[in-house]
Amino acid sequence: MNHLSLVIKREYLTKIKNKSFIIMTILSPMIMIALIALVAYLTQLNNNKHRTISILDESGLVTNVFENTENTTYVYLSNIALETAKQTVESKEEYGLLHIANGKDIDAVSNQITFYSKDAPSITLIKSLESRLEREFKDEKLKEQGVDITKIKATEADVDISQESFLGERTSKIGNVMKLIFGGAAGYLLFMFIIIYGNMIMRSVIEEKTSRIIEIIISSVKPVQLMLGKIIGTSLAGITQFLIWMVIGGILLTVITVVFNIDMMQMQTPQQELMQQTMENLEMNDKIQVIFNEFRSLPIINLIIAFVLFFIGGYLLYSSLYAAIGAAVDNETDTQQFMMPILMPLILAVYVGVFTVIEDPHGTVSTVFSFIPLTSPVVMLMRIPFGVPLWQQGISIALLIGTFMLTVWFAAKIYRVGILMYGKKPSYKEIIKWLKY
């Protein structure tokens, strides 16, 4: 067996046999699922709370405007004074009292509406009350102007712009949301992977230094081989852990959904909310059809290949930097000053991905950042579902691979000098010097 595979095998086996690794692997998905289930449960609890709202309308403008819903009951009060109404509502422990005072015209009335409640009312409730009242007052005003409301209602049109690129690719709002989810998940996965397993590589390099075994090892193995072996072995352990997480997570999610009858889909994440809004107008059958079509229209093969390439490239790029940091220092507390320059571009990539790519996937900012090697893996993975020309992907990959090779060379230099340096925390200046040794 050659040295590289021996090192990979050892790194992999010691990682997955490690007790804390095993505990983390089994416990993490359980904790995650438990948290998700808890949040889902709490959300449901909140949604299910029944509210009764009393309405004292002295203007007579909003009679029968509010209709009871599943969670909210509206009670109309009449012929009582405001103070009495307040007392009644409070004693009945109702959610609140909406008071609409009388005025000389609609404008006057609309400025004298008050909501009384024990605690500060929910903002969403106030907003919904406001928008319902605004619509009603608008209709009233139109009536005053002698406009026939039924005619206006008849002229309302429902517009849904369907989108199509010049090449004939159809898309829609739902499609865009799906692309965001795909790209976001890929980018975020890479980000997490780099942070978790990059650190693990760094720790394992430091461990060899502190246990003083390093000189024994590198009298048999070239430092570059040792470094690559560590990176690959740890990554394989990471992939194993991820797969186990997905399997356990999937099983747990299914079990909990069935046993506790909690509908995970009711959890409101921003994307789902967006998705629900865009789908509100569609019939159920149409929804499934649209999602299916959108899924098929995603550039699946391109997505998979790009994911693999950018994932490997980006991950290796960062993990070689982590390995170099591990080699340069003596213990974990000394790593802080070197971590910043690594974390900055990574976090920047995620921010650019989240804020810019959503806004404009092919804008200047997103395009530029999808070429810069330290940010390209995350940003490009987020852009690709929206369709990126192959030549752009090619250039980005080439830049990434070029930089990766440069980084490995650079990291290997630091590594081979750093692993034999004990006792002091090096400065950046010294590390640059090491490159010449």
Partner 1 sequence: MNDLLVTDSVSKKFGEFTALNKASIAVPKGSIFGLLGPNGAGKTTLIRIINQITIPDSGSVYLDGEPLQAHHIQNIGYLPEERGLYKSMKVGEQALYLAQLKGMHKAEAKKRLKYWFDKLEIGDWWNKKIQELSKGMAQKIQFIVTVLHQPKLLIFDEPFSGFDPINANLIKDEILQLRAEGATVIFSTHRMESVEELCDHIALIHKSNKILDGKLADIKRQYRTNTYEVGLLADNTTEVQQQLQDKFEISAADFKSLDNDLKLNIKIQPNQSPNDLLSFLTSKAQVNHFNELVPTANDIFIQTIKNN
In DSSP notation, 383-407 reads HGGG---HHHHHHHHHHHHHHHHHH
Burial state string for 69-96 with b = 16 or more CB within 10 A and e = fewer than 16: eeebebbebeeeeeeebbebbeeeebbb
CB-nearer residue toward partner 1: 18 or 331: 18
CB-nearer residue toward partner 1: 149 or 216: 216
Whole-angstrom distance, CA of residue 367 vs CA of residue 287: 32
Q: Which amino acid belongs to residue 382?
A: M
* CB of residue 342 to partner 1, shortest distance in Å: 26
**Closest to 345 (Cα-Cα) out of 306, 309, 318:** 318
CB-nearer residue toward partner 1: 213 or 255: 213
User: Phi first, then psi: what are they for 60, rounded to 5°?
Assistant: 75, 15
* CB of residue 304 to partner 1, shortest distance in Å: 36
| Other beta carbons less than 10 A from residue 295's beta carbon | 12
H-only helix segments in 49-147: 82-91, 106-110, 123-144
Whole-angstrom distance, CA of residue 247 vs CA of residue 253: 10
**Which residues contribute to the site for partner 1 (CB under 8 A)?**
1, 3, 6, 10, 14, 18, 207-208, 211-213, 215-222, 420, 422, 433, 436-437
CB-nearer residue toward partner 1: 225 or 396: 225
- Are 227 and 407 within 8 A, CB to CB? no
- Are 205 and 327 within 8 A, CB to CB? yes
CB-nearer residue toward partner 1: 264 or 420: 420
CB-nearer residue toward partner 1: 57 or 208: 208
Q: Which amino acid belongs to residue 100?
A: I
CB-nearer residue toward partner 1: 292 or 422: 422
Maximum pairwise Cα distance, the chain = 96
User: Phi first, then psi: what are they for 322, rounded to 5°?
Assistant: -60, -40
What are the structure tokens assigned to 317, written together?
């790029």
**Closest to 361 (Cα-Cα) out of 182, 193, 168:** 182
CB-nearer residue toward partner 1: 36 or 221: 221
